[in-house]
A and B are shown apart, each in its own frame.
Chain A
Amino acid sequence: MLQCIFLLSDSGEVMLEKQLTGHRVDRSICDWFWDHAISQGDAFKSQPVIASPTHYLFQVVREGITFLACTQVEMPPLMGIEFLCRVADVLSDYLGGLNEDVIKDNFVIVYELLDEMIDNGFPLTTEPNILREMIAPPNIVSKVLSVVTGNSSNVSDTLPGATGSCVPWRAADPKYANNEVYVDLVEEMDAVINRDGVLVKCEIYGEVQVNSHLSGLPDLTLSFANPSILDDVRFHPCVRFRPWESHQILSFVPPDGEFKLMSYRVKKLKSTPIYVKPQLTSDAGKCRVNVLVGIRNDPGKTIDSITVQFQLPPCILSADLTSNHGTVNILSNKICSWSINRIPKDKAPSLSGTLVLESELDRLHVFPTFRVGFRIMGVALSGLQIDKLDLRTVPNRLYKGFRALTRAGEFEVRS
Chain B
Amino acid sequence: MFPQFGATAETLSKASTMVFRIGTDAHLYDDPDDVSIAPLLDSKFDSEKCEALKRLLAQIAQGFDVSNFFPQVVKNVASQSLEVKKLVYLYLLHYAEKRPNEALLSINCFQKDLGDPNPLVRAWALRTMAGIRLHVIAPLVLVAVGKCARDPSVYVRKCAANALPKLHDLRQEEHTSAVEEIVGILLNDHSPGVVGAAAAAFASVCPYNLSLIGRNYRKLCEILPDVEEWGQIVLIGILLRYVIARHGLVKESIMLSLHCTESSHSEKDGSDVDFRLLKVPIDMSGTCDSEFVNMVSKCYIESPDEYLSRSSYTNRVSFELNGTHFTSKTNDDVKILLYCTSPLLWSNNSAVVLSAAGVHWVMAPKEDIKRIVKPLLFILRSSNASKYVVLCNIQVFAKAMPSLFAPYYEDLFICSSDSYQIKGLKLEILSSIATDSSISSIFKEFQDYIRDPDRRFAADTIAAIGLCAQRLPNMAYSCVDGLLALTKEDFLTKDFGSGDQEAGVLIQAIMSIKSIIKQDPPSHEKVIIQLVSSLDSIKVPAARAMIIWMVGEYSSLGEIIPRMLTTVLKYLAWCFTSEALETKLQILNTASKVLLCATGEDLWTFKKVFSYLVELAECDLNYDVRDRARLLKKLPSCNLGSQGPEEGTNGLNEKNVLHVVAKCIFGRQTREVKAESNNYRFYLPGSLSQIVLHAAPGYEPLPKPCSLPLDDLNVPEGTHAVEKGPDYSGTDDHGTSSGPLDEESASDYDSQHSITGSSGSGRSDDNEFTSEENDNADPLIQISDVGNASENQNGVSQSSPANLGELMSNRALESWLEEQPGSSNPGISEQSQVCKSSARISIRDVGRQVKPKSYSLLDPANGNGLKVDYSFSSEISSISPLLVCIEVFFKNCSSETIMEITLVDEESTRALDSADQAAAVNESSMKSYDNVPTLVPMEEIPSLEPGQTTRRLLQVRFHHHLLPLKLALFCNGKKLPIKLRPDIGYFVKPLPMDVEAFTDEESHLPGMFEYTRSCTFTDHIGELNKESGDGLLIKDKFLAICESLALKMLSNANLCLVSVDMPIAANLDDASGLRLRFSCEILSSLIPCLITITVQGKCCDPLNLFIKVNCEETVFGLNLMNRIVNFLVEPALF
Q: Please tell me if the beta carbons of A78 and B421 are within 8 angstroms of each other in the complex.
A: no
Q: Please tell me if the beta carbons of A82 and B86 are within 8 angstroms of each other in the complex.
A: no
Instruction: Indicate whether A263 reaches chain B with its CB closer than 8 angstroms.
Output: yes
Question: Given A46-B419, A122-B162 in contact, is the A232-B390 Cβ separation under 8 Å?
Answer: no
Q: Mark A271-283, 1 if CB is under 8 A from B, else 0.
A: 0000000000000
- Which residues on the B side are within 8 Å of A166 (C-beta)? 191-192, 226
- Which residues on the A side are within 8 Å of B695 (C-beta)? 74
Q: Please tell me if the beta carbons of A365 and B83 are within 8 angstroms of each other in the complex.
A: no
Instruction: Indicate whether B648 reaches chain A with its CB closer than 8 angstroms.
Output: no
Question: Given A122-B200, A163-B154 in contact, is the A234-B688 Cβ separation under 8 Å?
Answer: no
Instruction: Indicate whether B997 reaches chain A with its CB closer than 8 angstroms.
Output: no
Instruction: Indicate whether B697 reaches chain A with its CB closer than 8 angstroms.
Output: yes
- Which residues on the B side are within 8 Å of A59 (C-beta)? 385
- Which residues on the B side are within 8 Å of A122 (C-beta)? 162, 165, 197, 200, 230
Q: Please tell me if the beta carbons of A78 and B386 are within 8 angstroms of each other in the complex.
A: yes
Instruction: Indicate whether B331 reaches chain A with its CB closer than 8 angstroms.
Output: no
How many Å lie between the Cα of A112 and that of B497 in the bound state? 56
Q: Please tell me if the beta carbons of A23 and B1066 are within 8 angstroms of each other in the complex.
A: yes
In this complex, which of A72, A112, A142, A412 has the most chain B Cβ atoms within 10 angstroms of its Cβ?
A: A72
Q: Mark B676-708, 1 if CB is under 8 A from A, else 0.
A: 000000000011110110111111100000000
Q: Is the interface of B mostly helix, strand, loop or mixed?
A: helix
Question: Given A107-B58, A159-B155 in contact, is the A138-B24 Cβ separation under 8 Å?
Answer: yes
Instruction: Indicate whether B976 reaches chain A with its CB closer than 8 angstroms.
Output: no
Distance between A270 CB and nearest chain B CB, rounded to angstroms: 14
Instruction: Indicate whether A333 reaches chain B with its CB closer than 8 angstroms.
Output: no
How many Å lie between the Cα of A157 and that of B84 in the bound state? 12
Instruction: Indicate whether A343 reaches chain B with its CB closer than 8 angstroms.
Output: no
In this complex, which of B415, B458, B778, B1068 has the most chain A Cβ atoms within 10 angstroms of its Cβ?
A: B415
Give the residues from 989 to 1039 in chain B that come closer than 8 angstroms, CB to CB, to chain A.
Answer: 1033
Q: Please tell me if the beta carbons of B162 and A200 are within 8 angstroms of each other in the complex.
A: no
How many Å lie between the Cα of A260 and that of B163 in the bound state? 32
Q: Please tell me if the beta carbons of A82 and B451 are within 8 angstroms of each other in the complex.
A: no
How many Å lie between the Cα of A164 and that of B190 in the bound state? 12
Q: Please tell me if the beta carbons of B385 and A119 are within 8 angstroms of each other in the complex.
A: no
Instruction: Indicate whether B346 reaches chain A with its CB closer than 8 angstroms.
Output: yes
Identify the closest chain B residue to A141 (Cβ).
B23
Q: Please tell me if the beta carbons of A412 and B777 are within 8 angstroms of each other in the complex.
A: no
Q: Please tell me if the beta carbons of A361 and B496 are within 8 angstroms of each other in the complex.
A: yes
Identify the closest chain A residue to B93 (Cβ).
A19
In this complex, which of A53, A155, A313 has the most chain B Cβ atoms within 10 angstroms of its Cβ?
A: A155
How many Å lie between the Cα of A204 and that of B698 in the bound state? 41
Q: Mark A43-78, 1 if CB is under 8 A from B, else 0.
A: 100111101011010111000000000011111111
Q: Please tell me if the beta carbons of A43 and B453 are within 8 angstroms of each other in the complex.
A: no
How many Å lie between the Cα of A236 and that of B93 in the bound state? 34
Q: Mark A187-215, 1 if CB is under 8 A from B, else 0.
A: 00010101110001100010000000000
Q: Please tell me if the beta carbons of A47 and B154 are within 8 angstroms of each other in the complex.
A: no
Identify the closest chain B residue to A410 (Cβ).
B415
- Which residues on the B side are within 8 Å of A76 (C-beta)? 233, 237, 351, 354-355, 686-688
How many Å lie between the Cα of A21 and that of B374 in the bound state? 37
How many Å lie between the Cα of A410 and that of B83 in the bound state? 45
Q: Please tell me if the beta carbons of B120 and A49 are within 8 angstroms of each other in the complex.
A: no
Instruction: Indicate whether B94 reaches chain A with its CB closer than 8 angstroms.
Output: yes
Interface size on B, residues (CB 8 A): 130
Instruction: Indicate whether A398 reaches chain B with its CB closer than 8 angstroms.
Output: no
- Which residues on the A side are within 8 Å of B90 (C-beta)? 111-112, 115
- Which residues on the B side are within 8 Å of A168 (C-beta)? 193, 228
Give the residues from 376 to 400 in chain B that come closer than 8 angstroms, CB to CB, to chain A.
Answer: 377-378, 381, 383-386, 388-390
Question: Given A119-B127, A200-B413 in contact, is the A74-B689 Cβ separation under 8 Å?
Answer: yes
In this complex, which of B230, B384, B420 has the most chain A Cβ atoms within 10 angstroms of its Cβ?
A: B230
Q: Please tell me if the beta carbons of A192 and B381 are within 8 angstroms of each other in the complex.
A: no
How many Å lie between the Cα of A245 and that of B1107 in the bound state? 69
Question: Given A56-B688, A59-B385 in contact, is the A237-B229 Cβ separation under 8 Å?
Answer: yes
Instruction: Indicate whether B22 reaches chain A with its CB closer than 8 angstroms.
Output: yes
Q: Looking at the complex, which one of B61, B386, B491 makes contact with A82 (CB distance below 8 Å)?
A: B386
Question: Given A108-B54, A115-B86 in contact, is the A78-B390 Cβ separation under 8 Å?
Answer: yes
Instruction: Indicate whether B349 reaches chain A with its CB closer than 8 angstroms.
Output: yes
Q: Please tell me if the beta carbons of A46 and B421 are within 8 angstroms of each other in the complex.
A: yes
How many Å lie between the Cα of A105 and that of B697 in the bound state? 38
How many Å lie between the Cα of A360 and that of B778 in the bound state? 57
Q: Mark B440-451, 1 if CB is under 8 A from A, else 0.
A: 010011011001
Q: Mark B326-363, 1 if CB is under 8 A from A, else 0.
A: 00000000000000000100111111011100000000
Stretch among A9-17, A171-179, A376-384 lining the B interface: A9-17
- Which residues on the A side are within 8 Å of B878 (C-beta)? none
- Which residues on the A side are within 8 Å of B26 (C-beta)? 101, 104-105
Identify the closest chain A residue to B190 (Cβ).
A166
Q: How many A-B residue pairs have CB under 8 A?
A: 318
Distance between B387 CB and nearest chain A CB, rounded to angstroms: 8
How many Å lie between the Cα of A326 and that of B46 in the bound state? 58
Instruction: Indicate whether A1 reaches chain B with its CB closer than 8 angstroms.
Output: yes
Stretch among A293-301, A366-374, A399-407 lining the B interface: A366-374
Identify the closest chain B residue to A159 (Cβ).
B120
Identify the closest chain B residue to A409 (Cβ).
B381
Q: Mark B966-984, 1 if CB is under 8 A from A, else 0.
A: 0000000000000000000
Distance between B1064 CB and nearest chain A CB, rounded to angstroms: 11
- Which residues on the A side are within 8 Å of B686 (C-beta)? 76-78
Q: Please tell me if the beta carbons of A159 and B123 are within 8 angstroms of each other in the complex.
A: yes
Instruction: Indicate whether B312 reaches chain A with its CB closer than 8 angstroms.
Output: no
Identify the closest chain A residue to B46 (Cβ).
A151
Q: Please tell me if the beta carbons of B47 and A151 are within 8 angstroms of each other in the complex.
A: yes
How many Å lie between the Cα of A158 and that of B155 in the bound state? 12
Instruction: Indicate whether B97 reaches chain A with its CB closer than 8 angstroms.
Output: yes
Q: Mark B736-777, 1 if CB is under 8 A from A, else 0.
A: 000000000000000000000000000000000000000011
Q: Looking at the complex, which one of A77, A205, A232, A358 makes contact with B374 (CB distance below 8 Å)?
A: A232
Instruction: Indicate whether A315 reaches chain B with its CB closer than 8 angstroms.
Output: yes
- Which residues on the B side are within 8 Å of A196 (C-beta)? 444
Question: Given A14-B63, A119-B162, A123-B230 in contact, is the A360-B494 Cβ separation under 8 Å?
Answer: yes
Instruction: Indicate whether A81 reaches chain B with its CB closer than 8 angstroms.
Output: yes
Q: Please tell me if the beta carbons of A22 and B698 are within 8 angstroms of each other in the complex.
A: no
Q: Please tell me if the beta carbons of B24 and A72 are within 8 angstroms of each other in the complex.
A: no
How many Å lie between the Cα of A410 and that of B414 in the bound state? 10
Q: Mark A118-149, 1 if CB is under 8 A from B, else 0.
A: 01101110100000000000100011101100
Instruction: Indicate whether A27 reaches chain B with its CB closer than 8 angstroms.
Output: yes
- Which residues on the B side are within 8 Å of A315 (C-beta)? 498
- Name 11 A/B residue pairs within 8 A (Cβ), A-sorted: A48-B389, A74-B688, A77-B389, A78-B686, A104-B26, A164-B154, A194-B444, A200-B441, A244-B346, A358-B496, A369-B416
A residues at B contact (CB < 8 Å) = 1, 14-17, 19, 21-24, 27, 42-43, 46-49, 51, 53-54, 56, 58-60, 71-79, 81-85, 101, 104-109, 111-112, 115, 119-120, 122-124, 126, 138, 142-144, 146-147, 150-159, 163-164, 166, 168, 190, 192, 194-196, 200-201, 205, 231-237, 241-242, 244-245, 260, 263, 265, 311, 313-315, 358, 360-363, 365-369, 371, 410, 412, 414
Q: Which 4 pairs between the two chains have the least Cβ-Cβ distance?
A: A143-B23, A48-B385, A46-B419, A241-B343
Q: A73-B696, A78-B233, A361-B496 are in contact. List 17 more A-B contacts (CB 8 A).
A: A1-B200, A72-B1066, A74-B697, A101-B17, A101-B21, A105-B24, A108-B28, A111-B57, A147-B22, A156-B120, A163-B154, A232-B378, A234-B353, A235-B347, A245-B343, A363-B491, A412-B415
B residues at A contact (CB < 8 Å) = 17, 21-26, 28-30, 46-47, 50, 54, 57-58, 60-63, 81-83, 86-87, 89-90, 93-94, 97, 118-120, 123, 127, 130-131, 133, 153-155, 158-159, 162-163, 165-166, 169, 191-193, 197, 200, 204, 225-226, 228-230, 233, 237, 343, 346-351, 353-355, 374-375, 377-378, 381, 383-386, 388-390, 410, 413, 415-417, 419-422, 441, 444-445, 447-448, 451-453, 455, 458, 489-491, 494, 496-498, 686-689, 691-692, 694-700, 776-780, 1033, 1066, 1068
